[in-house]
């Protein structure tokens, strides 16, 4: 069965420290993976998708099929990065049908 696991509920770092938010998935086939972010009192929004291989707000994520992981990384955390982060993959393929992980709260302290 398709599944997304985010093992950490909370990740607390100081400003300027590196950040790695972990995501592991279970999926048969070639997955399309996403990271979503939800800032305080804002809607859930797409941060990045692996097929675009973009760096958004300094965040990158590499799909590792061998380890079935899609960890989100940023070399130097900023206070404005504090938010909830969700990893997601499509539900049985198709559009706009996603399986989300439970999320990781990133807290960046000054």
Partner 1 sequence: DAGVTQSPTHLIKTRGQQVTLRCSPKSGHDTVSWYQQALGQGPQFIFQYYEEEERQRGNFPDRFSGHQFPNYSSELNVNALLLGDSALYLCASSHAGTGGSEGYFGEGSWLTVV
Interface with partner 1 by CB under 8 A: which residues? 4, 6, 9, 32, 34, 42-46, 49, 86, 88, 90-92, 94-103
> At closest approach, how far in Å is the CB of 16 from partner 1?
29
Could you tell me which of 81, 79, 80, 77 has the C-alpha nearest to residue 110? 79
Instruction: Provide the minimum distance between the beta carbon of 14 and partner 1 in the complex, in angstroms, as a whole number.
Output: 25
Q: Is residue 6 within 8 Å of residue 104, measured between CB atoms? A: yes
Distance of closest approach, residue 48 Cβ to partner 1, in angstroms? 10
Partners of residue 98 on adjacent β-strands: 90
Structure tokens at 50: 């692996």
Name the pairing type of β-strands 3-5 and 60-61: unpaired
Cβ proximity to partner 1: between 28 and 43 the closer is: 43
Considering the complex, state which of residue 42 and residue 110 has its C-beta at the smaller distance from partner 1.
42
How far apart are the C-alpha atoms of 103 and 87, rounded to whole Å?
7
**Closer Cβ to partner 1, 43 or 110, answer by number:** 43
């Amino acid at each position: 069965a398709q599944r997304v696991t985010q093992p950490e509920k909370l990740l607390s770092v100081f400003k300027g420290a590196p950040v790695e938010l972990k995501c592991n998935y279970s999926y048969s086939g070639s997955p399309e993976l996403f990271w979503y972010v939800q800032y305080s009192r804002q809607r859930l929004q797409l941060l990045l998708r692996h097929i675009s291989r973009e760096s958004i707000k300094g965040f990158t994520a590499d799909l590792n099929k061998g380890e079935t992981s899609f960890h989100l990384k940023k070399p130097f955390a900023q206070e404005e990065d504090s938010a909830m982060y969700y990893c997601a993959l499509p539900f049985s393929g198709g559009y706009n049908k996603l399986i989300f992980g439970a999320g990781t709260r990133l807290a960046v302290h000054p």
